[in-house]
Amino acid sequence: MNIITVKDAQEGGQKAFNIFKEALAADAKVFGLATGSTPITLYNALTASDLDFSQKISINLDEYVGLAPDNPQSYHYFMQQHLFNQKPFKTSYVPNGLAKDADAETQRYDDIIAANPIDLQILGIGRNGHIGFNEPGSPLNGKTHKVPLTQSTIDANARFFDNEEDVPRFAYSMGIGSIMTAKHILLMAYGENKADAIQKMVEGPVTNHVPASALQNHNHVTVIVDEAAASKLSK
């Protein structure tokens, strides 16, 4: 893993932006995108730039089960607000939170990923080491699946909802195996509350108790962390 330490999320977004720019220059066609507060500085840098994604494809990691695309808490909506409205892609895929048949939806999504190999995959990380919505215990070779969210993730995401009870209990998520098929993975983490997860991801054993530790087995991973998130690394 190539670990880049920055002073804050602003600088991290700029570094991540440069990696996007290089990927475009190298003719990357498919971008795996993530939600959460972490990629926002990257998305701000992208929307402020003159980079053109109108012939590119994006594939998002995950979506809450039960939320419509126009629900302001949905990941569809998040992506529209933070990136797609200002910087449209040719086609943007996000799992359909309203799908009636979960098996058909996860299969549909796997088919999309298979047909559009991801050149650059953006990731944040949960405090418990989850990536996408692959919670601890998820199989390290898994494909897209419907997952029950852990209480830790529900609590962490409750800040975006009026009440904790409104936080969906399930999500569709690309699996760790699907994420690992991306040619280049760029994970970003900012803040003290990510320090444990970053330490375990980088220095701990590869275990499905820490889903992000699977990235140790990938040959092209870039990690952008601020000093707080890097604070528990041994060097």
Ligand X SMILES: N[C@@H]1[C@@H](O)[C@H](O)[C@@H](COP(=O)(O)O)O[C@@H]1O
CB 149 within 8 A of CB 133: yes
Residue 130 annotated among the catalytic residues of the structure: yes
Alpha-carbon distance 120 to 222, whole Å? 10
Which tokens belong to 148? Answer: 């029950």
CB 94 within 8 A of CB 159: no
| Choice between 10 and 52, CB closer to ligand X | 10
Residue type, 174: M
Q: How far is the CB of 81 from ligand X (least distance, A)?
A: 14
| Choice between 34 and 54, CB closer to ligand X | 34
Which tokens belong to 194? Answer: 């990510």
Q: Give how many residues touch ligand X by CB under 6 A.
A: 13
Catalytic-role residue among 63, 105, 135, 226: 135
Residue 203 annotated among the catalytic residues of the structure: no
Select the span of 7-15, 19-27, 36-44, 103-111 touching ligand X (CB under 6 A). Answer: 36-44
Regarding 61 and contact with ligand X (CB under 6 A), the answer is yes
Sign of the torsion angle spanned by Cα atoms 150, 156, 162, 168: negative
| Choice between 37 and 81, CB closer to ligand X | 37
Residues 145-184 binding ligand X (CB under 6 A) are 153
Regarding 32 and contact with ligand X (CB under 6 A), the answer is no
Residue 111 annotated among the catalytic residues of the structure: no
Q: How far is the CB of 55 from ligand X (least distance, A)?
A: 26
Residues 104-143 binding ligand X (CB under 6 A) are 124-126, 132-133
Q: How far is the CB of 21 from ligand X (least distance, A)?
A: 22
Alpha-carbon distance 103 to 99, whole Å? 9
DSSP reduced 3-state for 235: coil
Q: How far is the CB of 146 from ligand X (least distance, A)?
A: 14
Alpha-carbon distance 197 to 204, whole Å? 10
Which tokens belong to 80? Answer: 């529209």
Alpha-carbon distance 235 to 231, whole Å? 9
Residues forming contacts to ligand X in the complex (CB under 6 A) are 34-38, 61-62, 124-126, 132-133, 153
